Amino acid sequence: MDTLAFWLPLLLLFLSALIGAVIKRRSCDHCLKKFENSKVSMQLGQNWVCGTLEVFAQGIELRNLNHIEWGETSVHSHIIHAVELEKISMIIRKAPPLDTNLGQVWQKERKRLVDPPLQDRIRRSVLNSFNMLRDSFGQAMKAIIGSMSKDTRLGKTRDADKRFGEIQGNLTNMIPNSWEPILEEYLGNSVAVERKTGSGLLLDSGILEDYSSKYLLLRDVKVTGSVFDQEDSLGISGGHAYDILYSRDNTILRYSLKE
């Protein structure tokens, strides 16, 4: 029994760490994933960068950049790591012209978002139920890890508290709380978000498509402001419709709007 009491917690720790590492390697933010292979623009420091987005678990890459040279060589892609990505306030995708095939697809997606069919409603309900079960599983796993850290010989070894804390942290990141009632209530509705800028607070309006722990995704956003008016070289200009990923670090849902 003493042998089992030692090796069983060790095995559980190894399996949980292995599963966490695999999921962390493969998981991507689902809102960010919706912009993959799209031409996007974002502000990096004082400069705007435009390119085709590719999403990875620990960062993103912008490919096919416009007019960027490094010495005598043209730059093909710009790699942005996860730490740098957290500093980007929003990622902008210009809506395609409505008289094109892509524009027709975009318009149908917008219509479906505003008036979702029954299968979409059912799918969303199932997803929310799964998320609640996932949250419960995560809390149970953290409780088991916490109990092992106190009641087993493994928990009494050197630096055990630190190691168990790392495992609990990985479980928290691996299974985040993803269902938010207020945001869920206004999916597919016209809303206004409040975002922080260097010149103060600004409001943008659009249709709330989705959300994650890091982003708010709005469709058909009509943005005005000097920062957009002066970036025509990137295809950004005030008054046009955009799909925008807002970082939740400096953007919040502020108002619901009447149709």
Model confidence pLDDT, tens digit, residues 201-219: 888 999 999 998 899 999 9
* Measured torsion, CA atoms of residues 6, 12, 17, 22, in degrees rounded to the nearest 10: 150
Residue 151, pLDDT > 80, answer no
| Per-residue pLDDT tens over the stretch 42-59 | 887 777 888 899 998 888
Q: What does the pLDDT read at residue 86?
A: 85
What's residue 209's pLDDT? 94
What is the pLDDT, as a whole number, of residue 232?
47
pLDDT for res 69 = 63
Q: Please report the pLDDT score of residue 183 as a whole number.
A: 92
User: What confidence score (pLDDT) does residue 138 get?
Assistant: 59
Distance from C-alpha of 75 to C-alpha of 72, rounded to nearest angstrom? 10
Choose the most confident range, by mean pLDDT, from 109-123, 129-143, 232-246.
109-123
Res. 239 pLDDT band, cuts 50 70 90 = low
Confidence at residue 58, expressed as pLDDT on a 0 to 100 scale: 83
**What pLDDT shows up at residue 54?**
93
pLDDT of residue 230: 41
Mean pLDDT estimate for the chain: 77
In whole angstroms, give the CA distance from residue 188 to residue 255: 14
Of 20-24, 25-29, 120-124, where does mean pLDDT reach its minimum? 20-24
pLDDT value, residue 30: 86
The 10s digit of each residue's pLDDT in 172-194 is: 555 555 678 899 999 999 999 99
Give buried/exposed letters for 182-200 (b at 16+ CB in 10 A, else e): eeeebebebbebebeeeee
Whether 228 shows a pLDDT value over 70: the answer reads no
